[in-house]
Structure 1
Amino acid sequence: MKAEKKEVNAIVLDVLLKGHAEDPRPTFKREPIVQAIGVEQFKLLELIPKRVEIQIHDNVYIGDGEREKVERVKRRIRYDDLTQTAKLELPFVVERIVKEREPDFVQFFNKSISVTPKLHMLHLLPGIGKKLMWEILEEREKKPFESFAEISQRIKSIPHPEKMIISRILEELQDPDVKYHVFTSK
């Protein structure tokens, strides 16, 4: 089994200055908690911030070495562990990450392969059936896609390819029973 890759950067979803409300300890003994999502593998994390100003949507460094805003990564969490605020922010932050990493996700359309004899990775995106999958495969054979705009221009039935990616990422994060994790790590 290979060692799990660590997230290096995360985006803040919520800041709990007095920790979790359900924490039985008195308020003065609770440590502040930041809920965040990793930028590379979309891992949901709880971080312990340093005593600095930290806000929702901040991009924070959580890799090895000196960290400006984060003392340590406390633990990995599930979607159900997120606060209501974090759940509301999640789609906006995932959309931001997908747009910032557009070349990576365009490559998904260029390089995706069959998972099983009857299931292609493209099928895992909402709205892609056999006919659309074959259209994507034929188009990428002619010339690899270079942007989301080019995908939507060459494949008329996909006006917003980034929305398909965002929907799939959210599904993988929200549903603990998802069989295939294309964009997130289990």
Structure 2
Amino acid sequence: MAMTAFRTMMLATMLAGGGMMGATAIAAQKTVMVGGAAMYPTRTIVENAANSRDHTTLVAAVKAAGLADTLSGPGPFTVFAPTNAAFAKLPAGTVDTLLKPDSKDQLTAVLTYHVVPGRVSAADIAAKAKANGGNATYTTVQGEPLTFHKAGTGSKAGWAIMDGKGHMGRITIADVYQSNGVIHVIDTVMLP
């Protein structure tokens, strides 16, 4: 999806009622630790992710794709943020290839496949899954769906995420609120 179309979609989402959280709502959110750094609900997705030692590959990719300004904007955005370990599970050379300037369109497609317009919490995913026979599907900014279902039991219970190719991952840290959205840390790179 071209940057202009991405920005247009985000503007339409905001105008449809998905604007930024008010100062009171932001202050009520708790600070969560991700990658050894505090994720402050008063900072943007990019500001917080840049401080996480577990997301250096993601931040480099966002910058290489030219998405840093967009993801620093008002949003709101829901980002399913793969860790460095998730990127390391890709076949050898994949990340290096994606970060090359001539792969910018492909990199943008992969990254925007991890973004859903609006602010989607784990409770939202749970409610949607309950209403739809156990699965919650969200259309990404890239245009293709991600599907979620409950996985595990007891203390290991959480949300599994599946991409269009059938690759499975898990949300490892949910509901990391930002001033312009929410991040859910995931353990696998999703591929459109």
Place the TM-score, normalised by the shorter chain, in its bin.
Answer: under 0.3
Question: Of the two, which has the highest radius of gyration?
Answer: 1
Q: Provide TM-score, normalisation by structure 1.
A: 0.28
Q: Which has the larger strand fraction?
A: 2
Q: Provide TM-score, normalisation by structure 2.
A: 0.27
- Larger relative contact order (CA 8 Å, sep ≥ 6): 2
